[in-house]
């Protein structure tokens, strides 16, 4: 009898299933136990991984334990140790143990989080978690909250609500009629908006290139005086996109001023706070993000600074009707309960993972103090890293280290500083103590160091700074 005839119950006994899950858990534990000590970069190339994993889907299938073992063996070499304490690339937070464990439960439960009828648990967890976040981030109570895959989708969702609202006020129903013949929307973005804002604008038919770019200052902050001038030139429906946390410098746009200007103009203000939003958990750092409560929508990530596993983005929207109108479309067979939260009303997807569960687990485990400590500790590590590196006269820290980002350039008295900086980045990536990436900042090659993993210690910072300076000393151009 084949698998299908035998039925799911017979195809794997309870003991076999338990053994398989225990095997996966063991592989996960072994991986996490070694992640701090292994080279941070992957040690296998794509070709190695293809030959390790590419063969083996035969007609008759393979024992599931063997499949898991093959994946785990390939992961040892093919993954980047971004779960480890010395990964400083992009803005990638490692996952807190409780978040990983809660995510395993999510997989075991396998809930569809679209509507309350499909999973009362997920609906209620989303509701509670949304309330806790509004509270710790000091955001108004009426804000709608949706859980999406990442900050790009959070901005997409928010800007869909913005598009609805500004066009509704101009007498146009975009959901019914699309954009053909609609009044033009003037979209103002920062010159240094994250590229995912442009992706969201593209997907919404608002055009990436049409958006007008507001000049920024030396730290990458939107200039409020320039925004004011550009808003004066603008007529009709208008959306402003600001950011809390520049991906290179960590700098915050002057949100309070921008919010006041947007409000006076009747523009919708959207803020990309992918990681910077979490500064509001700290009384000291929160000042950087003051005025954010006045934004019409905010996008952020859970999988960055909140240290939940991929994937998790979160959208906050101050206008529940616009949010719902942009995101929901009824169908006769989808049962809605007026008293309960239907998670799909706040996001573009229908069937989806229970992403709020690891967020719930982190917030409840850390509490207010733990969260503030996590964020403040990373910022203090960033300052420590900048200080340690600056000991070498060839190091130039390009940004004011106000948050968890450090931007570094290497310059010797003679020679090409761009080439030197790129060579140091490549050398550090190869050396393996830590991992960080490069960027071009205001026309200069620079090293980006982003600190957002719960397990990073002061010793990890010192060890990494030492390794970076050693590579610098060894680079001969």
Ligand X SMILES: Cc1ncc(COP(=O)(O)O)c(C=O)c1O
313 part of the interface to ligand X, by CB under 6 A: yes
146 part of the interface to ligand X, by CB under 6 A: no
Binding ligand X (rule: CB under 6 A), the pick from 301, 342, 345, 460 is 301
Stretch that binds ligand X, among 146-154, 167-175, 278-286, 373-381 (CB under 6 A): 146-154
- Least Å distance between CB 476 and ligand X? 33
196 part of the interface to ligand X, by CB under 6 A: yes
Residue in 67, 62, 53 with CA at minimum distance from that of residue 23? 67
Distance CA 293, CA 193 (A): 20
For the record, the structure tokens of 238 come out as: 């208008």
- Least Å distance between CB 411 and ligand X? 26
Stretch that binds ligand X, among 26-34, 150-158, 159-167, 229-237 (CB under 6 A): 150-158
Q: Which residue is nearest to ligand X (CB)?
A: 150
Residue whose CB is less far from ligand X, 162 or 420: 162
At residue 308's C-alpha, the angle toward residues 306 and 153, to 5°, is 85
- Classify residue 465 as exposed, middle or buried by CB count within 10 Å of its CB (0-12, 13-18, 19+): buried
- Least Å distance between CB 289 and ligand X? 13
Residue with token string 């709020």: 356
Is residue 430 within a helix (H) or strand (E), and if so which, with residue range? Answer: helix 417-431
Residue whose CB is less far from ligand X, 145 or 469: 145
- Least Å distance between CB 92 and ligand X? 8
Span 268-287, contacts to ligand X by CB under 6 A: 272, 274
For the record, the structure tokens of 34 come out as: 């070694």
For the record, the structure tokens of 152 come out as: 């790009």
343 part of the interface to ligand X, by CB under 6 A: no
DSSP state of 331: -
DSSP state of 296: S
Residue whose CB is less far from ligand X, 103 or 272: 272
Residue whose CB is less far from ligand X, 211 or 423: 211
Span 73-132, contacts to ligand X by CB under 6 A: 90-91
Residue in 217, 154, 231 with CA at minimum distance from that of residue 187? 231
Stretch that binds ligand X, among 158-166, 200-208, 215-223, 239-247 (CB under 6 A): 239-247
220 part of the interface to ligand X, by CB under 6 A: no
- Least Å distance between CB 469 and ligand X? 27
Q: How far separated are the first and last CA of the chain, in Å rounded?
A: 68
150 part of the interface to ligand X, by CB under 6 A: yes
Beta bridge partners of 156: none
Using CA atoms of 435, 441, 444, 446 in order, give the dihedral in degrees to the nearest 10: -10
Residue 298, preceding peptide bond in cis (omega within 30° of 0): no
Residue whose CB is less far from ligand X, 102 or 200: 200
- Least Å distance between CB 246 and ligand X? 7
375 part of the interface to ligand X, by CB under 6 A: no
Stretch that binds ligand X, among 213-221, 243-251, 319-327, 431-439 (CB under 6 A): 243-251
Binding ligand X (rule: CB under 6 A), the pick from 152, 216, 248, 399 is 152
Residue whose CB is less far from ligand X, 113 or 452: 452
Binding ligand X (rule: CB under 6 A), the pick from 40, 81, 151, 468 is 151
Q: Are strands 405-410 and 212-214 parallel, antiparallel or unpaired?
A: unpaired
- The DSSP-derived string for 19-73 is HHHHHHHHHHHHHHHHTTTS-SS-SS-HHHHHHHHSS---SS---HHHHHHHHHH
Residue with token string 């009426």: 142
Residue whose CB is less far from ligand X, 117 or 199: 199
Residue whose CB is less far from ligand X, 301 or 460: 301
Distance CA 385, CA 121 (A): 43
Residue with token string 């000291």: 284
Beta bridge partners of 239: 187, 268
Which spans of this chain sit near ligand X (rule: CB under 6 A)? 90-91, 150-152, 194, 196, 243, 245, 247, 272, 274, 301, 313
């Amino acid at each position: 009898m084949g698998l299908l005839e035998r039925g799911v119950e017979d195809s794997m006994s309870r003991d076999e299933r338990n053994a398989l899950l225990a095997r996966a858990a063991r592989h996960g534990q072994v991986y996490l136990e070694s992640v701090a000590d292994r080279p941070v970069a992957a040690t296998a190339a794509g070709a190695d991984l293809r030959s390790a994993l590419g063969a083996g889907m035969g007609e008759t299938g393979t024992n599931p334990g063997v499949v898991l073992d093959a994946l785990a063996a390939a992961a040892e070499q093919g993954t980047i140790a971004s779960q480890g304490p010395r990964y400083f690339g992009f803005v990638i937070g490692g996952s807190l143990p409780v978040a990983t464990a809660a995510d395993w439960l999510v997989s075991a439960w396998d809930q569809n989080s679209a509507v309350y009828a499909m999973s009362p648990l997920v609906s209620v967890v989303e509701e509670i978690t949304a309330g806790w976040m509004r509270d710790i981030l000091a955001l108004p109570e009426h804000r709608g909250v949706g859980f999406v895959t990442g900050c790009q989708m959070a901005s997409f969702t928010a800007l869909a609500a913005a598009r609805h609202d500004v066009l509704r006020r101009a007498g146009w129903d975009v959901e019914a009629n699309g954009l053909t013949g609609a009044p033009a929307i003037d979209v103002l973005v920062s010159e240094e908006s994250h590229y995912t804002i442009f992706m969201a604008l593209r997907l919404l038919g608002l055009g990436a290139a049409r958006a007008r770019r507001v000049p920024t200052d030396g730290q990458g902050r939107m200039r409020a005086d320039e925004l004011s001038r550009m808003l004066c030139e603008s007529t009709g429906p208008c959306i402003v996109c600001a950011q809390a946390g520049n991906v290179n410098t960590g700098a915050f746009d002057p949100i309070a001023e921008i919010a006041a200007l947007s409000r006076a103009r009747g523009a919708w203000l959207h803020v990309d706070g992918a990681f910077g939003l979490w500064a509001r958990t700290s009384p000291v750092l929160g000042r950087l993000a003051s005025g954010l409560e006045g934004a019409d929508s905010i996008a952020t990530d859970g999988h960055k600074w909140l240290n939940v596993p991929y994937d998790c983005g979160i959208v906050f929207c101050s206008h529940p009707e616009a949010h719902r109108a942009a995101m929901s479309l009824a169908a006769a067979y989808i049962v809605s309960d007026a008293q309960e939260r239907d998670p799909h009303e706040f996001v573009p997807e229908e069937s989806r993972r229970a992403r709020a569960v690891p967020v719930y687990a982190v917030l409840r485990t850390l509490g207010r103090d733990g969260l503030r400590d996590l964020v403040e500790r990373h910022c203090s590590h960033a300052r420590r890293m900048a200080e340690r590196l600056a000991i070498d006269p060839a190091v130039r820290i390009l940004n004011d280290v106000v948050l968890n980002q450090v931007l570094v350039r290497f310059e010797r008295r003679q020679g090409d500083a761009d080439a030197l900086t790129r060579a140091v980045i490549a050398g550090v990536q190869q050396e393996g103590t830590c991992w960080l990436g490069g960027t071009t900042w205001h026309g200069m090659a620079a090293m980006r160091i982003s600190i957002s993993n719960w397990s990073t210690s002061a010793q990890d910072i010192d060890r990494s700074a030492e390794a970076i300076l050693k590579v610098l000393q060894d680079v001969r151009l």
